[in-house]
A and B are shown apart, each in its own frame.
Chain A
Amino acid sequence: MRALVWHGKEDIRCDTVTDPEIEQPRDAIVKVTSCAICGSDLHLFHNFIPAMLPGDIMGHEMMGEVVEVGPEARGKLKKGDRVVVPFTIICGECDQCKRGNFSVCQTTNRKKDLADKVFGHATAGLFGYTHLTGGYPGGQAEYLRVPFADATHIKVPDGIPDEKVLFLGDIFPTGWQAAVQCDIQPTDTVAIWGCGPVGQMAIRSAILLGAKQVIAIDHLPERLEMAEAGGAITINFDEESVVERLNELTGGEGPEKCIDAIGMEAHVSPSMPDTVYDRAKQMLGAESDRPHVLREMIYVCRPAGVISIPGVYGGLVDKIPMGQLMNKGLTIRTGQTHVNRWTDDLLRRIEEGQIDPSFVITHTVSLDEGPEMYKVFRDKQDSCIKVVLKP
């Protein structure tokens, strides 16, 4: 089969690889009908997150048709079922899964020893996201083996186009959880840094959850325009001070809720000297992440407010203002998304027409064009916001 394979820094290739095989009784094989390039794939593209190996298949946002089912998954899945595959692999049986903390499932990370050493305690297995999370082959491929498939799936009905439900596997529940863990009240201003795909979903989620105002921060005109279309007030950080504008929009109090939809690769600009400092340290390997957004959120957030971090961080950050964070009594909530905790509800909202996540798709191409689209997406060329691949 064909698959997008990581060969090294910025080197993704559309390779011919062997087909996946059922290994465990709970496995299933899915024929991928649609998959997407996620913003967090770019951290792997840049090799900023350790433990990728040449030959690893990329992709953690995919859906398709079940074509083979292991004997212990047959009660829940059958050939022909149409499923979205969540990026978190879950057993559904461990203590964390029973609490709904699916992204820290205690069972599915098959490289547990490695993950225990790096994280202290292993987190769930993830598709296509380094050997720290199990080294599972990803879904930017024609076929995908889904481990623990009896639990790791979201059944979707026929008749809804792939484009409307594909993002149930990652960016929609990720934006939703980012907003949910803010515990949005009708009086709240929610500020969202980053208008990439997760930021766009967080904006829509905050609107649906009834925030008084949603403010979106970016510098790319097309992304700001899409944010504005979704009901957000926008701030272009190339043109105005984020802190001043946020204070102006909140009567000098600051937003109650702040969402970091950027993560470890904040934009670098001489007008924000800390970003240049971070970039230099990152190049030298002295810091893995560029946490400009975290610093800005901690500074501007209203005291006793909430900071929600769906953006991916990989390792070590520097110069985090703990004094501000502690004295202002801020709550930080973060984590990979507990996808299956939200998907029944979100699928219903899609079916009822409350939201149509396909709005974010700007490019639909074949799998063969995937390597080039990684470049286009990374360089933000051709107004690219979200790429869907058709294997």
Chain B
Amino acid sequence: MTYYISNIARSKGDPKVIHSGPSSLGTVDRLAKALGWYSIGLGIAELVAAERITRALGMEGKEALVRAYGVRELGHGIMSLSPDKQLGLWSRVAGDGLDIATLMTAMRHDNPKRDNVGIALAVVLGVTLLDIIGAQGVTARHSRPRGRPRSYRNRTGFPQGVQAARGAAKDFQVPPDMRAAPSLAAVSDRAPQERVRSH
């Protein structure tokens, strides 16, 4: 669908997509993307519906904390959707720990919404598992493997060797519009007084 819309910006002779092939995005990248958007959604919900959330969990009075967690979730989401998705997903794992610890405080016997807290805990644990899988996956997929890199010691680029190459293009005339003004070399080999005299 998006192609049909973006094709409006193309001319008649421009190539248009007929069939889509394999992507540079791996499965874990897509998982990171999904979790990033989940974070954004949850963050917005925590910000705009903090009262309803605390009421549902029997945690009245903790609205400010829920909103702060909402801001935190937005941060996780933005990072998970960025090229630094490893950082985003690992920050989500840390955030999950915080969420679990906070929910545990609401698992009191005198909390009439204890069942809701249990459901929330189960959801968070499930998401934590996904976060750990995603974080490990993207770290493995996008990290530079340890060990010795390939050697490029002989990649001089100069068929006649580096020494022969030094200054080999001295015949090149720098165009007037690309000269440095004033030319450092042109003035630095003589003292200012000498230059004045020479005029």
Contacts and interface: CB of A to CB of B under 8 A. Distances in A.
Chain B interface secondary structure, helix, strand, loop or mixed? loop
A357 B157 contact: yes
B14 interface: yes
Interface string A208-245: 11100000000011110110111100000000000000
Interface string B1-30: 011001101111111111111111110010
A204 B150 contact: no
Interface of B: 2-3, 6-7, 9-26, 29, 78-79, 81-84, 141-145, 149-160, 162, 165-170, 172, 174-175, 177-186, 188-189
Contacts of B183: 183, 185
A225 B153 contact: yes
Contact of A333 (B149, B158, B160, B178): B178
Interface of A: 1-3, 5, 7, 9-23, 27, 45-46, 53-57, 99-100, 110, 131, 135, 137, 141, 145, 180-183, 185-188, 200, 204-205, 207-210, 220-223, 225-226, 228-231, 256, 268, 279, 283-284, 302, 304-306, 331, 333, 341, 345, 349, 353-357, 359-360, 362, 368, 371-372, 374-375, 378-383, 385
Given A12-B24, A13-B20, A353 B3 contact: no
Contact of B25 (A10, A54, A222): A10
Given A57-B15, A209-B167, A353 B22 contact: no
A1 B16 CA distance: 10
A226 B78 contact: no
A210 B15 contact: no
A137 B7 CA distance: 12
Contacts, number: 222
Given A208-B168, A304-B182, A22 B17 contact: no
Given A15-B21, A145-B13, A231-B162, A283 B157 contact: no
B192 to A, nearest CB: 13
A149 B94 CA distance: 56
B13, B24, B179, B189 — most chain A CB neighbours (10 Å): B24
22 contacts: A1-B15, A2-B21, A11-B25, A16-B19, A20-B14, A57-B15, A145-B13, A180-B174, A187-B185, A208-B168, A221-B149, A222-B150, A225-B149, A226-B155, A229-B156, A229-B157, A256-B184, A283-B84, A302-B184, A355-B157, A355-B159, A379-B142
A372 B24 CA distance: 5
Contacts of B174: 180, 183
Contact of B172 (A141, A209, A302, A362): A209
B3 A55 contact: yes
Contacts of A349: 169
Contact of B158 (A23, A137, A186, A355): A355
A381 B142 CA distance: 8
Contacts of B3: 54-55
A135 B166 CA distance: 40
Nearest to A142: B15
Given A1-B15, A207-B162, A181 B154 contact: no
B190 to A, nearest CB: 13
Contact of B10 (A135, A209, A333): A135
A222 B152 contact: yes
A331 B79 CA distance: 37
